Structure 1
Amino acid sequence: MKITEQIKLPIAQEMDLFEEKFPEAMSSKVALLNKITHYIVNRKGKQMRPMFVFLTAKMLANGIINERTYRGASVIELIHTATLVHDDVVDDSNKRRGFFSINALWKNKIAVLVGDFLLSKGLLLSIDNNDFDLLKIISVAVREMSEGELLQIEKARRLDITEDVYYEIIRQKTATLIAACCSLGACSVAPKDTEGIEKMRKFGELIGMAFQIKDDLFDYTEDAIGKPTGIDIKEQKMTLPMIYTLNQCNPKEKSWLINSIKNHNKDKKRVAEVIRFVKDQNGLAYAEQKMIEFQQKALNILQDFPDSAYKEALELMVNYVIKRKK
């Protein structure tokens, strides 16, 4: 059995029901919108975010969840989908999970409007049901994600990202949404348990940090096609292996590295040399060590909760995040 199927076991029923409910949350009176949202629903990913919502809720409420939990999962998936649609426009990307992106099929203008529509549907789902506590959690996440993207763009222009700034960027860009999943799950079943909600928010944030560092490592390691991609280098994105290496090397090497990233990022041979140099300087080993530190801190938080199938599944999820192959 695949690890993702193992994780889903204690919430299989909830995930099946969620898949029935979610298309309703995206419905519209506009035929074009329904055609596009149908396309999105049929090309969904691993659905890790709803899984975090359900597992957290069930762990805190001894396996008993409610309609608020389903709404929380729908809201997070709507917001996440909206950000992916907008990201593809920003990155001028034609593919998403091996399929054509919305902007590739329907052009940028429609893609931006679809993203806006999904965002508004998510917010209205909370407002219409008076889930203002859930709305606050998700609104903070949307603000932070936008700030994180802009902070990365601002810093990428100068290539002056310190390790602390990098952590702040990935906390806002990636970790904040997973933190929102876990706090939404907790808040949906135990709205007055502020300590439990905060613990699960922190747990999600730590997982999100480990998740993003793992993503950044894929740029330097063998992927499904058998060679490092170097995409982050081509896009002048400063990730942890590179930041560490820049701090370790001598001025001459640093100058060569920065020149390579700024002026030779489309040269395959030069990019391959940069990847090799980062590996030789232990940039990957350092990033892996930091990723494991975040993972261990997340596992430590789970120890505060009694043993259950849901806790076990969350532990599996934490390990999956850093062991996954793509």
Structure 2
Amino acid sequence: MSLDHASAKPHERLAAHLEAEMGAVDQLIRERMASRHAPRIPEVTAHLIDAGGKRIRPMLTLAAANLCGYEGEGHIKLAATVEFIHTATLLHDDVVDESNQRRGRPTANLLWDNKSSVLVGDYLFARAFQLMVEPQNLDVLEILSNAAATIAEGEVLQMTAAMDITTSEDTYMQVIRGKTAALFQAATESGAVLAGRGDADREALAQYGDALGVSFQIVDDLLDWGGASGAMGKNTGDDFRERKMTLPVIRAIAKADATEREFWARTIGRGDQGEGDLEQAFAILTRHDALEETRVEALRFADHAKTSLASLPDHPLREMMRDLADYVVERIA
């Protein structure tokens, strides 16, 4: 581990601790993303995988398995599975959202086309299912296959909830638990199951993954209003322009007077947006403390993630995972 422990960020310390295993995961990903007959597949996949993501999800798979005392090699395959599922969803998301940039680089659908992004995403999903079978653990297979279905369901729900200013907070939570938290939960829970741990440890790590994923997405949605485009590779106000119903907007609409409600109906509901509307939206959110309330909600889920780890074995990885929950919300604390 070459990183200075005191100065390194939690995900960097986690990466350093798991360096050898993450190297094996990266090698496996490159082997399995190859295609003898369709060179477009590794071209598109490499463009996204090489873009410099933190690989938090596969690291969590490895960390959970190690924390639970696993000594085999199946967790390498599960970590690669999780990364393939995540990459596939990113390819599909960029087509759905008509995005032109991800992680500071042009999206695959912009460099190639929508058809390539969708079909390569499908290929990666198929590769993920091939990999998740190989450890020959039916419980793990059930966790990861259920997560894949839940992610797709969450994306469809978000699409139908967009532009609908009557969207409830419960629906929003269902969306983010589907599109984001489901894979975090599957990553951590599957590590415990692969290690043969009992229901208590499995549930603790499942709760950790769920709470961490929810907090992660709430923070992401909040940063879209916070001018943190450099940190997230997004332009401030993207969600507003795409008419997404995120938690700050839902909270502000719940407190809106008639004039404000008409503003939201026009800009989000009908998509009639003009100069100055983003600034007005931000002013309304600030007036109703919607941004601060959203920040508090993100912190609440981060705290739940940390307390979920309390019953697990005392281990350096447990402390790194606790610190990771803090790091997720430090961006808006």
TM norm structure 2: 0.90
From 47, 55, 61, the counterpart of 2:55:
47
- In proportion to residue count, which structure has more helix? 1
Q: Report matched runs for 1:147-296 at 5 Å.
A: 147-190=153-196, 193-224=198-229, 229-263=236-270, 266-296=273-303
Q: Displacement of 1:12 after TM fit?
A: 2.2
Equivalence for 1:59: 67
Aligned residue for 2:252, secondary structure, equals helix
Tell me the distance in 1 between the aligned counterparts of 2:187 and 2:325. 14
Instruction: Please give the per-residue CA displacement for 1:11-30, whole angstroms capped at 9, x wherever unaligned.
Output: 22222222222211222212
- Aligned 8 A contact 1:137 1:180 in 2: yes
Tell me the distance in 2 between the aligned counterparts of 1:228 and 1:122. 31
- Aligned 8 A contact 2:163 2:269 in 1: no
From 79, 82, 89, the counterpart of 2:88:
82
Instruction: Please give the per-residue CA displacement for 1:159-207, whole angstroms capped at 9, x wherever unaligned.
Output: 21111111111111111111111112212222x5233222211110011
Question: In 2 relative to 1, CA 44–120 (structure 1 residues): closer, same or farther, beyond 3 Å?
Answer: farther
Aligned residue for 2:276, secondary structure, equals helix
Q: Displacement of 1:99 after TM fit?
A: 1.8
Equivalence for 1:98: 104
Aligned residue for 1:29, secondary structure, equals coil
Tell me the distance in 2 between the aligned counterparts of 1:225 and 1:53. 27
Amino acid at match of 1:105: L
- Aligned 8 A contact 2:229 2:235 in 1: no
Equivalence for 1:7: 14
Tell me the distance in 2 between the aligned counterparts of 1:124 and 1:262. 42
Amino acid at match of 1:136: E
Tell me the distance in 1 between the aligned counterparts of 2:162 and 2:226. 22
User: Is residue 327 of structure 2 the alignment partner of residue 317 of structure 1?
Assistant: no
Tell me the distance in 2 between the aligned counterparts of 1:307 and 1:128. 30
- Aligned 8 A contact 2:243 2:267 in 1: no
Tell me the distance in 1 between the aligned counterparts of 2:101 and 2:41. 19
Amino acid at match of 1:246: I
Question: In 2 relative to 1, CA 153–57 (structure 1 residues): closer, same or farther, beyond 3 Å?
Answer: same
Tell me the distance in 1 between the aligned counterparts of 2:187 and 2:299. 21
Q: Displacement of 1:228 after TM fit?
A: 7.5
Instruction: Please give the per-residue CA displacement for 1:195-235, whole angstroms capped at 9, x wherever unaligned.
Output: 32222111100111111110111121132469981111111
- Aligned 8 A contact 1:264 1:271 in 2: no
- Aligned 8 A contact 1:55 1:313 in 2: no
Q: Displacement of 1:264 after TM fit?
A: 5.9
Equivalence for 1:298: 305
Tell me the distance in 2 between the aligned counterparts of 1:215 and 1:294. 14
- Aligned 8 A contact 1:156 1:238 in 2: yes
Identity of aligned residues (%): 31
Question: In 2 relative to 1, CA 8–129 (structure 1 residues): closer, same or farther, beyond 3 Å?
Answer: closer
Tell me the distance in 2 between the aligned counterparts of 1:116 and 1:108. 12
Q: Displacement of 1:290 after TM fit?
A: 1.0
Aligned residue for 2:18, secondary structure, equals helix
Q: Aligned pair count?
A: 322
CA RMSD of aligned residues (A): 2.1
Structure 1 alignment gaps of length 5 or more: none
- Aligned 8 A contact 1:299 1:315 in 2: yes
Question: In 2 relative to 1, CA 29–259 (structure 1 residues): closer, same or farther, beyond 3 Å?
Answer: same
Amino acid at match of 2:55: Q
Question: In 2 relative to 1, CA 228–15 (structure 1 residues): closer, same or farther, beyond 3 Å?
Answer: closer
Q: Which moved more, 1:169-178 or 1:156-165?
A: 156-165
Question: In 2 relative to 1, CA 26–281 (structure 1 residues): closer, same or farther, beyond 3 Å?
Answer: same
Tell me the distance in 1 between the aligned counterparts of 2:74 and 2:331. 31
Tell me the distance in 2 between the aligned counterparts of 1:286 and 1:37. 38
Instruction: Please give the per-residue CA displacement for 1:251-272, whole angstroms capped at 9, x wherever unaligned.
Output: 3322233223334654241111
From 34, 39, 60, the counterpart of 2:42:
34
